[in-house]
Amino acid sequence: MKILFALIILSLGFILVSAQNEQAPVVEKEFAYKDWVYKNVKTGTDMNLRKFSFGKKLVMVVYFAPWCPNWKHDAAFVQGLYEKYKGNGFDVIGVGEYDPVDVMKTHLDAYKITFPAVYESELRTDKQKTLHYEYRKAAGDTRNWGSPWYVFLEPEKLEKSGIILSKKANVVNGELIKDQAESFIRTKLGLAL
């Protein structure tokens, strides 16, 4: 009986740990990704994505919910990519979702995130009202909350004006597959693999 109980506990633990893994590859998708102006989480100042992207080779936009275990899994890796490649034309901007701004600030500080972060929404009840939700559904993301969700923008290929920034972009519908994501970034930056 004790062995059966132990096996059940181990099985449940394995299921819970496995359920947290939502890794996905970088894939190109067609959808209308719009330019935006959102408030910076830390400063409250407006940030425009088109202006932010100007002069860079590759911009990673990462949508995240501070409470999401999948984002917490990726946070340090994304910060590491930012630090490693920011001198090569790479930049990262986070878009916070579904939590109050003060919680986002605390989260960014706790995870030592130094790349800029803005916010689109502050309430979990806004989930289906956000552009984040619209974009990820258009890109085939079937997850409930969609955090983290990544869009890679190549500024040279962006629309120069208008509300639509890009009609096609590389996305990740889940956690980054570390080796694949870094290879993708290095290739787009023109760095040796």
CA distance 98 to 146: 11
Phi, psi (rounded to 5 degrees) for 174: 155, -155
In-domain check, residue 33:
yes
- For residue 56, what are the domain limits? 2-188
CA distance 75 to 93: 12
Residue-level pLDDT at 173: 94
In-domain check, residue 149:
yes
The pLDDT of residue 57 is above 80 = yes
Taking the complete model, does pTM exceed 0.85, yes or no?
Answer: yes
Residue-level pLDDT at 19: 46
Q: How many domains does the chain have?
A: 1
Residue-level pLDDT at 2: 63
Q: Report the CATH number that the domain containing residue 152 is assigned in CATH.
A: 3.40.30.10
Task: Determine contact, residues 72/111, Cβ cutoff 8 Å.
Answer: yes
CA distance 20 to 175: 10
Phi, psi (rounded to 5 degrees) for 190: 75, 30
